[in-house]
Amino acid sequence: MHINFNGREIQLVFGLRTLTEIDRELGFEIEGASLGEGLEMLIPKLQSGNIVALSKIVKAATSHDKKSPGTFEELEEVLDGIAEVQGFDSFGEQIIEELGKRPMTRSLLPDDLQEEKEEKKENLETV
C-alpha cells in the first residue's frame, strides 16, 4: 500500500516501529502520564475515517522514508489527495485489509473482521 507525496509513491509500512508510534500517538495521557493503548483505538478510528488519526497513521507508517510527510502542511497535502481519490473511509478500509495480511497485526482486527476476511479467502479458493 502506498501514498503519493511530492510526486513520489511512499510505501506504508506496518512494522513494530510503526505500531509503537501509533500506540503512543493514539493513546491516552492522564495527569501527564502516557498510557499508550492506541492500538486498541486503531481499527475504530480507521473505520470511521478519523482525519486526525489518519494523519498520525500516515506519518508513522511512512517514517522509514527520509522524504516522508512530517509537517501538518505536508500531511494535509497527502490527506487532500486521499480525500479526492478514494475518500477516508475507503483508505481506512485498505489499511485494515493490510493489517489483516500480516501475522503480527492480524490480531488487531476484531473477530468479525477476521471472520469476514476468512470467508472472502474461502470464497476465492472455491471459485
Question: By mean pLDDT, which of 20-34, 83-97, 113-127 is the weakest?
Answer: 113-127
pLDDT of amino acid 122: 67
- The rounded distance, in Å, linking the Cα atoms of 95 and 117 is 13
**Per-range mean pLDDT, top range of 31-35, 73-77, 110-114:** 73-77
Are residues 2 and 11 in contact, defined by beta-carbon separation less than 8 angstroms?
Answer: yes
pTM, to two decimals: 0.80
**CA pair distance 18, 12, nearest whole angstrom:** 9
| pLDDT, mean of residues 15-32 | 83
Confidence of residue 52 (pLDDT cuts 50, 70, 90): very high
- Residue-wise pLDDT tens digits, 27-46: 777 776 666 667 888 888 99
- Segment 85-103 mean pLDDT: 92
For the residues 101-110, what does the mean pLDDT come to? 86
Average pLDDT (20-24) is: 88
Cα-based distances in Å from 91 to 1, 33, 42, 126, 127: 10, 32, 13, 28, 27
Tell me the percentage of the chain whose pLDDT exceeds 90.
54
- Give the three cell numbers for residue 61: 507508517
Question: pLDDT value at position 92?
Answer: 93
The distance of Cα 58 from the centroid of its chain, to the nearest Å, equals 7
